[in-house]
């Protein structure tokens, strides 16, 4: 993820753009407002009218309070209250009061007059001690300019916040969307994918959440498949154990009640009891093997090795054991010595399982073949034999095949069992290292 696309960078850009835009709008609007206000004042004599209005209010105040020109404090308070720039009182063109220095006594020499500008608007104010000319300086434009500036400032600040919040809205909506999808995952909905958009930290988070969703769904599917396999195994075990157990109990009852004709028949019954007991033991061994494999934690595969190096020892032991029981073995391992990655203990257990099944179910009259197999990016061995014609002898839950498949899956490999009449073949395929 590029840092320039991160959430922090997005917020910084949004703040900068919104701030610069608001400042530019404020400066432009303020200049336009001042220009419009100045033009209005110049065209309408606004200052003169406003000054006359303030002088009328001052006359009303003096009359109501019955003030004299000596009442400096009330006059000064009124000037400050109305935010006036300057108020001066003259008598016979002689300055007697100025709000600029209200506490200072103003005296001129006899017949000496303080300058007085006739072009300034003034009015005669009637005080208790006589009439005085009042000159009023009020910067009304300044007041309205401050008011307009305040309004524009508030508006631009509000616009800045609005633009910033609108810019954040996309991020907030995406966060809310992710929150809803996470809640759906918590509720068990693992089929709905997580929305991935953008290229910031939230995008990375969404991608990780979607990967987690896929992993959880895959785990649930595997758990469901495992549960189905276990249920199917229990059903098959119940069926296949019931038959030899029933036969075993029958022969045991015959022997216990002495329902045999001679010693030879007794030995036949005992042999059948022994065979059924061994069959039950074989089923229990396969079940134990399956439980052991499914309980194992994920295996750490060995270092890559050649096919001949991996199978040389286990195949030699397998052939020797089969030959001791009268089987003929044919091996065709091909000329390719490919590199495979396996878990050596599993290889030995798989071949032991195959050997046990051959000894139990294969017909010694036919050879057992071990053939090299290559399918695209996979390679391995195929074990083929011919099963016994006695269906009672080949009865099986195929727990051994399930155990082989489980061990192969843990090595990221695959097994395939095929049956064509009496011919049975199991193929072990491993990914070839490039």
CA nearest 403: which of 291, 315, 310, 324? 291
Crossing angle for the helix pair 344-361 and 399-410, nearest 10 degrees?
160
- What's the whole-model pTM score? 0.47
**CA 355, CA 407: separation in Å to the nearest integer?**
16
Among 49-53, 69-73, 300-304, 315-319, the range scoring the smallest mean pLDDT is 49-53
Per-residue confidence band for 115, with pLDDT thresholds at 50, 70 and 90: low
34 Cβ contact partners less than 8 Å away, ≥ 6 residues apart: 145, 148
* Contact (CB, 8 A) for 195 and 221: no
pLDDT-above-70 percentage for the chain = 88
What tokens does 395 get?
């009865």
**CA 175, CA 78: separation in Å to the nearest integer?**
59
CA nearest 318: which of 354, 362, 361, 365? 354
282 or 308, greater pLDDT: 308
Torsions phi, psi for 189 (to 5 deg): -85, 100
Round the average pLDDT of the chain to a whole number and report it: 83
Instruction: Write down the pLDDT at residue 116.
Output: 53
Phi-psi region of 342 (alpha: psi -120 to 50; beta: other; left: phi over 0): beta
Q: Decide if pLDDT at 402 tops 50.
A: yes
Quick one: CA dihedral 98, 100, 104, 106, positive or negative? negative
Strands 305-306 and 329-332: unpaired
Q: In Å, how far are 173, 231, 274, 280, 395 from 270, measured between CA atoms?
A: 79, 34, 6, 15, 20
Question: How big, in percent rounded to 5, are the helix, strand and coil portions of the chain?
Answer: 60, 15, 25
CA nearest 171: which of 315, 303, 13? 13
CATH 1.10.287.130 correct for 214-295 = yes
Question: What DSSP string runs through 86-104?
Answer: EEEEEETTEEEEETTSTTS
**What is the side-by-side strand order in the sheet with 94-98?**
94-98, 86-91, 130-137, 122-127
Strands 368-375 and 329-332: parallel
Among 86-90, 211-215, 226-230, 337-341, the range scoring the smallest mean pLDDT is 226-230
Tell me what the mean pLDDT of segment 179-198 comes to. Answer: 86
**CA 24, CA 32: separation in Å to the nearest integer?**
12
**CA 95, CA 87: separation in Å to the nearest integer?**
11
**CA 248, CA 360: separation in Å to the nearest integer?**
18
Torsions phi, psi for 342 (to 5 deg): -135, 180
Per-residue confidence band for 108, with pLDDT thresholds at 50, 70 and 90: very low
Write the pLDDT tens digit of every residue in 36-61: 888 887 777 777 788 888 889 999 99
Q: Decide if pLDDT at 244 tops 60.
A: yes
Q: Decide if pLDDT at 110 tops 60.
A: no
- Convert 314-325 to b/e letters by CB count within 10 Å (16 or more is b): bbeebbebbeee
150 Cβ contact partners less than 8 Å away, ≥ 6 residues apart: none
CATH of domain 301-434: 3.30.565.10
* Contact (CB, 8 A) for 148 and 37: yes
Write the pLDDT tens digit of every residue in 70-101: 889 999 899 888 878 788 888 887 888 888 87
Tell me what the mean pLDDT of segment 103-109 comes to. Answer: 51
* Contact (CB, 8 A) for 361 and 388: yes
CA nearest 123: which of 112, 109, 108, 133? 133
**CA 114, CA 395: separation in Å to the nearest integer?**
135
**CA 223, CA 290: separation in Å to the nearest integer?**
16
Measured from the Cβ of residue 283, the count of other Cβ atoms closer than 10 Å reads 20
Instruction: Write down the pLDDT at residue 114.
Output: 56
SS3 304: coil
Instruction: Write down the pLDDT at residue 109.
Output: 42
What tokens does 129 get?
């001690």
* Contact (CB, 8 A) for 89 and 125: yes
């Amino acid at each position: 993820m590029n840092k320039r696309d991160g959430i922090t960078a997005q917020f910084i850009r949004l703040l900068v753009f919104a701030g610069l835009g608001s400042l530019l709008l404020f400066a432009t609007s303020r200049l336009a407002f001042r220009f419009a206000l100045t033009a209005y004042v110049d065209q309408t004599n606004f200052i003169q009218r406003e000054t006359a209005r303030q002088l009328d209010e001052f006359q009303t105040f003096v009359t109501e309070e019955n003030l004299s020109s000596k009442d400096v404090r009330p006059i000064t308070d009124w000037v400050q209250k109305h935010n006036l720039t300057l108020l001066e009182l003259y008598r016979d063109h002689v300055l007697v009061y100025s709000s600029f220095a209200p506490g200072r006594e103003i005296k001129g020499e006899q017949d000496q007059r303080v300058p007085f500008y006739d072009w300034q608007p003034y009015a005669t104010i009637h005080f208790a001690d006589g009439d005085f000319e009042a000159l009023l300086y009020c910067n009304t434009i300044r007041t309205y300019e401050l008011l307009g500036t305040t309004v524009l400032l508030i508006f631009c600040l509000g616009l800045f916040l609005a633009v910033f919040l609108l810019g954040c809205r996309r991020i907030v909506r995406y966060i809310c969307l992710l929150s809803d999808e996470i809640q759906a995952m918590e509720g068990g909905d693992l089929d709905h994918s997580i929305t991935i958009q953008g290229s910031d930290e939230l995008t990375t988070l969404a991608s990780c959440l979607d990967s987690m969703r896929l992993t959880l769904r895959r785990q649930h599917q595997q758990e469901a498949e495992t549960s189905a396999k276990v249920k199917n195994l229990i059903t098959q075990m119940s069926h296949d154990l019931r038959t030899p157990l029933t036969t075993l109990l029958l022969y045991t009852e015959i022997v216990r009640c002495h329902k045999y004709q001679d010693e030879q028949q007794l030995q036949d019954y005992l042999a059948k009891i022994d065979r059924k007991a061994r069959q039950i033991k074989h089923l229990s061994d396969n079940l134990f093997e399956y439980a052991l494999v499914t309980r194992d934690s994920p295996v750490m595969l060995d270092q890559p090795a050649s096919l001949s190096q991996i199978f040389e020892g286990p195949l030699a032991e397998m052939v020797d054991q089969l030959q001791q029981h009268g089987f003929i073995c044919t091996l065709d391992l091909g000329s390719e010595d490919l590199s495979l990655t396996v878990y050596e203990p599993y290889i030995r257990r798989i071949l032991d399982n195959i050997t046990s099944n051959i000894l139990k179910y294969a017909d010694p009259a036919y050879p057992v073949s071990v053939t090299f197999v290559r399918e695209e990016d996979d390679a391995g061995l195929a074990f083929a034999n011919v099963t016994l014609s006695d269906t009672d002898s080949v009865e099986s839950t195929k727990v051994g095949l399930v155990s082989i498949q489980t061990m192969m899956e843990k090595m990221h490999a695959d097994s395939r069992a095929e049956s064509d009449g009496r011919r049975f073949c199991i193929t072990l395929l491993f990914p070839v290292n490039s």
